[in-house]
Chain A
Amino acid sequence: MIEEIFLTLPHIILSISIILFLVFDGLWKNKNINFWGSLISLLLCFLSVFISLQYIDFGISSNYKNFVTKGLLSFNGLSYFFDLLFILAAFLSILSSREYQRVRYKELNEFYTLILIATFGMIIISHSNNFITLFLGVETMSLSFYVLAGFFRRSLQSVEAGIKYFLLGAFATGFLVYGIAFLYGTAKSLDFTNFANIVQSGEINKTYLTIGITLVFIGLAFKIAAFPFHQWAPDVYTGAPTTISAFMSTAGKASAVFALLLIARNLNLPFANLEATKSIAFNIQEILSIISAATMLIGNFIALVQKNVKRMLAYSSVAHAGYLLMGIVANNPEGWNAIAFYSLAYLFMQFGAFTILSLCEKEENDFNSLEDYYGFSKKHPFLAGTMSVFMLSLAGIPPFAGFFGKYFLFVSAIKSGYLWLTIVAIISSIISMYYYIGLILAMYFKEFKEGIQPRLGLPFVAVVICLALTIVFGIVPQFILDFTYSLLG
């Protein structure tokens, strides 16, 4: 009993602080309390994960049977790793949001609380052991994202992003629920372990299983903006507040990928050694690999012609979803590790890039076009250099973190026999080089253009953290790998 409290410590801390901050906001309307309070609660949450990690063995050995959560939540190492990732993303996002809010609109406390709620949804996803908890987590996260995307209510773009995201997202959620209903009809159980056992036993309706799995995957593919459900992503990421785009495109994406990973891992795709489900399982793997290939190609091709840096990053994030899917396709321990590593690396480089954009934005002009960045390095050598590091890391050039992430993904894909997918990934990486280099080129080689006046302050701290970690994880990836491998057990 007491162990369960320790295991759920991050959830408890986060949910209590969400309620507290909502009340505080009503009582005092003090900006400082909510801002610093959210940061501190996230910090506590981060530390509490390490306490929870001490109790993992207990949770796994007892099979969650005697728990109050009754097996709705699972507590394994990889889940906690992703908790850390989500909490870190939320922390960076809040850290960089304050000044940005003040410049673009005005500071509202709900902003921070919504980020906390989204984070809570994510850590529910990462611990879900049941389709219902998974669904609840996805919805909690998405609903706060819909609001956050349209948060700047004076800005047409932001409102458009919010509405678009909401309408399409609600539709995708429909798919997810419908798929879960089919799965329940198939196996009479929504618990991952039970479900897998029943599927393995072969006493199932194959058609329903196929439809159910497909619909669930469609619902989640929407959330990670995989082809052909990626169309919302560029508009939403461009219109939404930049710090929120950063949060959505890193942590939001990672959580949906992790949901896919949970399903693929628990159902043991492609339903190994099972005569009854062989054909459909085979198809799922194949379809996922095709989706993965198409996602990276489409994302990179369209990013190639973007003139708006924020939009370019949005399309590139579609492409990165494709890379992450490679790990799901491989579905082996190397693949799960690679996803964990790449999500983390991607968090830092993408977040850093978006935060630099947010530093340069002004109320009257968002300074997001490529031309605004001409000669950026002349006046702001540090920021330009940092941005270049993020671009090179996104492009997968060593020795930055992004390269190692890609490397591990390639290893996992080749190991499970998907050489062609790796070659597609290589080709799309080559395409992506062109636009990542394009931004560096604009910042360094073009004539200087007056205009951008980046602000310093707290968001700058977030940039420095991202920069440091992008480089450190590039030079000593061993550190994170040891961690993830130990968590996989």
Chain B
Amino acid sequence: MELLLTLFLPLVGAILLLFVNRNKIALFKYSSFIVSILTFIISIILLIKFDFTNPNFQFFYEKIWIDKLDAGFRIGVDGISILLVLLTTFISPITIVSSFTAIEKREKEYYILLLLLQFAMTGVFISLDLFLFYIFWELVLIPMYFIIGLWGGKNRIYASVKFFIYTVVGSLFMLVAIVWLGLYVGGNILKMPGGFTSNFILIKEVLSKNIIPFEIEKWLFLAFALSFCIKVPLFPLHTWLPDAHTEAPTPGSVILAGILLKLGTYGLIRFNIELFTTSSIFYAPYISILAVVGIIYGALVSAVQTDVKRLVAFSSVSHLGFVVLGIFSITVEGMQGAIIQMVNHGLSTGMLFLAVGILYERRHTREIAEYGGIARVMPAFTVLFGIAMLSSVGLPGLNGFVGEFLSLLGAFKSPILNSYTYAILGATGVIFAAVYLLTMFQKVAFGPLTNPLNHTLKDLSKREWSYLVPIVILMLWIGVYPKFFLNYSEASVKKVVEKVHQYKFPAKANNNSLNIQFEKSNIK
């Protein structure tokens, strides 16, 4: 019930807002905020009720939708998705509050699209049916396309079309893979009445016996991976990201960086690694190489940006490289690190975008050279901006450190990558991050207050305080006591990793790791 509410509350809100007169701007602002806060509270209940010792899917809900194709409305969360659901419900109210001043036209459409986007993103994280998953995956696209295209900057049309086409290219190939998988598992193996199934749990159980020949499995893996890697974005598929980030309005960038990119990394764990064991082991080194290249490339390109927002955008390419490296190390540490790093990146990069947005609203420029000495006129802002920046750099004590450390640790220990090179090269990314972020911060915040336009800048308003402080609290919390969050994902991650290891090293597997629980099957 809680899960259904978490999913559908934003949709209900969006539909109700559709019937409100467009002149009542305040109503749109506050009611959408209330809806998202309510959703957040319900998701907290979800978190409390969640049993983190159980690696299986919880709050499972199933309703058959198209019985001929065995497609159903199947949802549920496990340790991997629950944190991301929480991230979504946490970031959403923040973006809505930050939109109050950032969005100054067509408020009606904007808040409806924002709630719709939240609905779709939550749906991606919790759907346990390939068909449903695909629908949510595509549904994310439409509101985001409009948000970039309608409220974006100068090049918004170019950026929005690029974003749309890039994502669609990947996802349509994934659709073919989903259909193939459904026909193979539902028709050839299980002989279901409709000859088709898209039940994720069922497919996972069947595939865990490694029945698909590697020659075919590898194409399925690639079809799924292409779609997810575009979304992550993994080097060299990242070129849509800087444009989309730079052109999107501030709240749009926050959602894009905070949640949307995680859809890709989540998909890599949930589908690529959980379903295609053989290919995951085969492709892990290749994808890790791309991840490492992305880490270094993203950092180097960030270092030469003159536009703050573009700099933060490229830093995302670098940071998500850590996530992908952690995932494809296929170790408990690496994957745990990847998941916590997904949350971290959502918080720290999201906050950096918010900070850039605050500056932009005051000066209407994002050029680093236009600023300097901001600390003198906006001291409070500088402190919070600094915390976000340090969290992004990965300073111990703040959240960024935990994620990057665990991801790199996983890459070091990984028996599947079986080489230190990935971790060593990846670690240089941390150093580069310090270089470009500190330089940017220093240029913006310190030094003499040369530009006369900056003399009259106002410090943070109450509203800005209200949405920045919760993020900072969470950053400190994860930085100081990450165990609280790691606990949630541990059991599920262990299960995923053990399955892969068991396949790769059958001899090493001792009795403990053989003790894998399978989900209750619902083969009819």
Binding site for B on A (CB under 8 A): 334, 381, 392, 397-399, 403, 407, 410-411, 414-415, 419, 422-423, 426, 429-430, 433-434, 437, 441, 444-446, 477-478, 481-482, 485
A397 touching B141, Cβ below 8 Å:
yes
CA of A441 to CA of B159, assembled, Å: 12
Q: Does residue B183 face the partner (Cβ distance < 8 Å to A)? A: yes
Q: Across the interface, which residues of B come within 8 angstroms of A423, CB to CB?
A: 173, 176
Does the CB pair B150–A444 fall under 8 Å? Answer: yes
Asked if B161 contacts A407 (CB within 8 A), the reply is: no
Q: Which residues of A contact B168 (CB under 8 A)?
A: 430, 433
The answer for the CA separation of A410 and B173 in the assembled complex, in Å, is 12
Query: In the complex, how many angstroms separate the beta carbon of A483 from the nearest chain B beta carbon?
Result: 11
Inter-chain residue pair count (beta carbon < 8 A):
78
Q: Which of A419, A434, A444, A481 contacts B180 (CB 8 A)?
A: A419
- Report B's interface with A, CB cutoff 8 A: 65-69, 109, 131, 134-135, 138-139, 141-142, 145-146, 149-150, 156-157, 160-161, 164-165, 168-169, 172-173, 175-176, 179-180, 182-183, 187, 195-196
B65–A445 touching, CB < 8 Å:
no
Q: Which 6 A-B pairs have the closest CB atoms?
A: A398-B135, A426-B172, A445-B149, A478-B66, A398-B138, A410-B179
Beyond A397-B138, A407-B175, A433-B168, 7 extra complex contacts between A and B, CB < 8 Å: A398-B135, A407-B131, A411-B183, A411-B196, A441-B149, A441-B157, A481-B68
* Chain B residues touching A, majority SS: helix
Residues of B within 8 A of A407 (CB): 131, 175, 179
**Docked complex Cα distance between A478 and B63 (Å):** 13
What's the nearest-Cβ distance from chain A to residue B143, in Å?
Answer: 12
Q: Across the interface, which residues of A come within 8 angstroms of B146, CB to CB?
A: 444
Residue numbers in A under 8 Å from B65 (CB-CB) = 478
Q: Find out whether the CB atom of B150 lies under 8 angstroms from the CB atom of A398.
A: no
Known: A415-B195, A478-B65. A433 touches B164 (CB 8 A): yes
- Interchain residue pairs with CB less than 8 A apart (22): A334-B195, A397-B138, A397-B141, A397-B142, A398-B138, A403-B138, A407-B131, A410-B175, A411-B69, A411-B179, A423-B173, A423-B176, A426-B176, A433-B168, A434-B161, A437-B164, A441-B157, A445-B149, A445-B156, A445-B157, A477-B66, A478-B66
Q: How far is the CB of B172 from chain A (nearest CB, A)?
A: 5
CA distance A478 to B164 in the complex (A): 29
Q: A392 — which chain B residues lie within 8 A by C-beta?
A: 142
Question: Chain A residues near B157 (CB, 8 Å)?
Answer: 441, 445-446
B176 touches A433 (CB 8 A): no
Q: In the assembled complex, which residues on chain A have CB atoms less than 8 Å from the CB atom of B138?
A: 397-398, 403
Closest A residue, CB atoms, query B195: A415
Tell me, in angstroms, the Cα distance from A398 to B180 when the chains sit together: 19
Measured between beta carbons, the chain A residues less than 8 angstroms from B175 are 407, 410, 426
Complex contact A415–B183 (CB within 8 A):
yes
- CB B105 to nearest CB in A, in angstroms, measures 10
Which chain B positions have C-beta within 8 A of A411? 69, 179, 182-183, 196
Which residues in A have their C-beta under 8 angstroms from that of B183?
411, 414-415
A-chain residues with CB within 8 Å of residue B145 when the two chains form the complex: 437
CA distance A477 to B131 in the complex (A): 13
Bound complex: CA of A422 vs CA of B65, how far in Å?
24
CB distance from B338 to the nearest CB of A (A): 28
Whether the pair A441, B139 counts as a contact (CB closer than 8 A) is: no
Determine the distance from Cα of A481 to Cα of B131 in the docked complex, in whole angstroms. 16
Q: Is the CB of B150 within 8 A of A426?
A: no
Cα of A429 to Cα of B174 in the assembled complex, Å:
13
Q: How far is the CA of A398 from the CA of B182 in the complex (A)?
A: 18
Residues of B contacting A422 in the complex (Cβ-Cβ under 8 angstroms): 176, 179
B69–A433 touching, CB < 8 Å? no
Interface of A is mostly: helix
| CB < 8 Å neighbour of A485 from B68, B141, B161, B176 | B68
Q: Is the CB of A445 within 8 A of B179?
A: no
Complex interface: chain B residues within 8 A of A477 (CB): 66
The residue in B68, B141, B157, B183 that gathers the most chain A C-beta atoms within 10 A of its C-beta is B68
**Closest residue to A430 on the B side, CB-wise?**
B169
In chain A, what residue has the closest Cβ to B157?
A: A445
Please give me the residue from chain A that is nearest to B167 by CB atom.
A433
Residues in chain A near residue B182, CB distance under 8 A: 411
> In the bound complex, how far is the Cα of B150 from the Cα of A478, in angstroms?
35
- Shortest CB-to-CB span from B196 to chain A, Å, is 6
Cα of A429 to Cα of B182 in the assembled complex, Å? 21
Given the known A-B contacts A410-B179, A414-B176, are A481 and B139 also in contact in the complex, defined by CB atoms under 8 Å?
no
- Measured between alpha carbons, how far is A236 from B253 in the docked complex, in Å? 46
In the complex the two chains form, what is the Cα distance from A415 to B160 in whole Å? 35
Pick from B67, B142, B149, B176: contact of A410, CB below 8 A: B176
Would you call B149 and A444 a contact (CB within 8 A)?
Answer: yes
Q: Which residues of B contact A426 (CB under 8 A)?
A: 172-173, 175-176
| Min CB gap A26→B, angstroms | 50
CA distance A179 to B417 in the complex (A): 64
Q: With A422-B179, A441-B149, A445-B150 given, is the CB distance from A415 to B187 under 8 Å?
A: yes
User: Bound state CA distance, A128 and B139, in angstroms?
Assistant: 42
Shortest CB-to-CB span from B252 to chain A, Å, is 14
Contact of B165 among A397, A410, A434 (CB under 8 A): A434
Specify the chain B residue showing the minimal Cβ separation from A397: B138
Closest Cβ of chain A: how far from B499's Cβ, in Å?
28
A403 and B187 CA atoms in complex are apart in Å by: 22
Closest to B172 in A: A426
Give Cα A399–Cα B138 distance, bound, in whole angstroms.
8
Residues of B within 8 A of A399 (CB): 135, 139
C-alpha spacing A429/B82, complex, angstroms: 34
Pick the residue among A414, A429, A446, A485 that contacts B179 (CB under 8 A). Answer: A414
Give the distance in Å from the alpha carbon of A399 to the alpha carbon of B168 in the complex.
15
* CB neighbours of B180 from chain A (8 A): 414, 419
CA distance A74 to B141 in the complex (A): 46
Complex formed: what's the CA distance from A481 to B164 in Å?
30
Q: Which residues of A contact B176 (CB under 8 A)?
A: 410, 414, 419, 422-423, 426
With a cutoff of 8 Å between Cβ atoms, the chain A residues found around residue B169 in the complex are 430
Given known contacts A414-B176, A422-B179, A398 and B139 CB-to-CB distance under 8 angstroms: yes
Across-interface contacts of A434 in B (CB, < 8 A): 161, 165
Distance of A87 Cα from B160 Cα, bound (Å): 40
- Look across to chain B and name the residue whose beta carbon is closest to the beta carbon of A333: B195
**Within the assembled complex, what's the spacing in Å between the Cα atoms of A429 and B169?**
9
In the bound complex, what is the Cα–Cα distance between A403 and B69 (angstroms)?
15
Q: How far is the CA of A360 from the CA of B257 in the complex (A)?
A: 40
CA of A370 to CA of B83, assembled, Å: 45
Bound complex: CA A437 to CA B142 (Å):
10
| Known contacts A426-B172, A426-B173, A426-B176: A441-B161 contact under CB 8 Å | yes
Set of chain A residues within 8 Å of B66, measured between Cβ atoms:
477-478, 481
Least CB distance from B61 to A in Å reads 18
Of chain B, the residue at the smallest CB distance from A434 is B165
CB distance from A336 to the nearest CB of B (A): 13
Q: Min CB distance, B360 to chain A, in Å? A: 21
Cβ of B308 to closest chain A Cβ, rounded Å: 25
Across the interface, name the chain A residue whose C-beta is closest to B187.
A415
Looking at the assembled complex, report how far the CB atom of A387 sits from the nearest CB atom of chain B, in whole angstroms. 14
| A429 to B67 Cα, complex, angstroms | 27
Q: Which residues of B sit under 8 angstroms from A414, Cβ to Cβ?
A: 176, 179-180, 183
- Closest A residue, CB atoms, query B22: A381
Set of chain A residues within 8 Å of B142, measured between Cβ atoms: 392, 397
Give the chain A neighbours of B156 by CB distance below 8 A.
Answer: 445
Assembled-state Cα–Cα distance A444/B160 (Å): 12
Measured between beta carbons, the chain A residues less than 8 angstroms from B161 are 434, 437, 441
Q: List A contacts of B179 (CB < 8 A).
A: 407, 410-411, 414, 422
B4 smallest CB distance to A (angstroms): 16
Residues on B with beta carbons closer than 8 Å to the beta carbon of A481: 66, 68
Minimum distance in angstroms from B411 CB to a CB of chain A: 34
Given A426-B173, A477-B66, answer yes or no on A398-B134 (Cβ-Cβ < 8 Å). Answer: yes
A434 to B166, CA, bound (A): 11
